Amino acid sequence: MAEEKKRNSESVDPLEIARGIVRAGKEDPKRRRYIVNDFTVEKLGELLRDNPNGLLAYRDELVGLLKSLDKSDREEARAFMLEAWGGTGTFVYDRIGRGTVDISAAIISVLGSVQPEPLGKYLKEAVSGEGGADGLMQRFQLMVYPDVPRTWENIDRWPNSAARQGAHHLFERLNGLQPEQEGAQHEDGCDIPFLRFDDEAQETFDRWRGKLERRLRSGREPDYFASHLAKYRSLIPSLALLIHLAENSHGPVRSDTLEKAIGWGEHLEANARCIYASAVGHRGDSAARALAEHILAGDLVDGFTLRDVYRHHWAGLATADCAREAVAVLIDLDWLREVREKTSGKPRVTYDVNPRVREGGAE
């Protein structure tokens, strides 16, 4: 017996065992990830390959992430973040060192905080038509601006444990969500399950969408903010779906759920206006002063258009957005009056100067 054991032990080759394991093709266990902080775009691709439900990029100081994407050697990362916003596209990396990385669903969410002053400086590029005007900032659609009360009150109370536990249970339930159990449907050629609006909700959405599209085509919004609002076409249905799932509803999304999303959208739009104002407020005032000087110099007469302002490439008034902001400020100051003339197509908009301005009576 001892002799047999000795022969068996001598016949075992550890290297052969290792080779057999490799040949078996066993894959390493994949770690389920939810959050990333600091990353390269190549590593992010590998993580997304293993986490097809997407990842949350969280930075306490969000400007740090934004500035890192501005660097000349991070252009690929910035482009990838732009593409991953929609959450419906695939992506394939081909690298010599990493081989081919197939991402079935490129889904990135970004969460963080930033102080108003550094954000305002960063936003100036996004609204000026310079390097940052690629729509990245307009993709931050859940932005909220602090509304600090003028009075202060010390509040010392226990955290709301029930709310915290409720949120935790909700996250756990959604993490294990099975779309088919929620009544989700599939269509040929599309791997992503979806829910529809019911008939009433669809009518509500069509009315809301019609108002939005008319606003976007009115010419009353600066280009950068029109670009922000244009993304509400997907934001509002997305919010409606999230509310629907959070309330543990089943089947098509109802009209009352959609109304909540629309109300939330109105609140978010008001916050976005405050945030963008931190970047354009000073520029708008400067442009208004420049326009006022040209009016007093007689460079513009009654009936002038926005194009009459920016076609001269005057300092501070060289773009349509700058001209539009300057005109808006002077209208508020009663220097100008907007005149809309009906035509067979889009109304023709011109501006008249307050006669008191010519006389020196306006301030």
pLDDT for res 131: 47
CA angle 272, 239, 203 (to 5 degrees): 105
pLDDT for res 42: 81
3-state secondary structure of 228: helix
Residue 58's alpha-carbon distances to 110, 219, 272, in angstroms, are 6, 36, 20
In CATH, what number is assigned to the domain containing residue 296? 1.10.10.10
pLDDT in tens, 320-345: 877 888 898 888 788 999 999 888 88
**Alpha-carbon torsion, ordered 135, 137, 143, 149, to 10 deg:** -130
Rg (CA), the chain: 29
pLDDT in tens, 119-166: 877 787 666 655 445 778 888 899 888 777 768 889 899 999 999 999
Q: How many domains does the chain have?
A: 2
Amino acid at the residue 312: H
pLDDT for res 261: 97
Q: Is-contact 108 84, C-beta < 8 A?
A: yes
d(CA 278, CA 119): 8
**Per the domain annotation, does 276 fall within a domain?**
no
Highest-scoring range by mean pLDDT, 23-27, 233-237, 288-292: 233-237
Instruction: Report residue 55 as tokens.
Output: 């990842």
Domain boundary among 74, 99, 114: 114
**Per the domain annotation, does 304 fall within a domain?**
yes
Range of the domain at 341: 283-359
Strand partners, 194: 185
Please state whether the predicted TM-score (pTM) of the whole model is above 0.75: no
Name the pLDDT band for 363 (thresholds 50, 70, 90).
Answer: very low
**Per the domain annotation, does 350 fall within a domain?**
yes
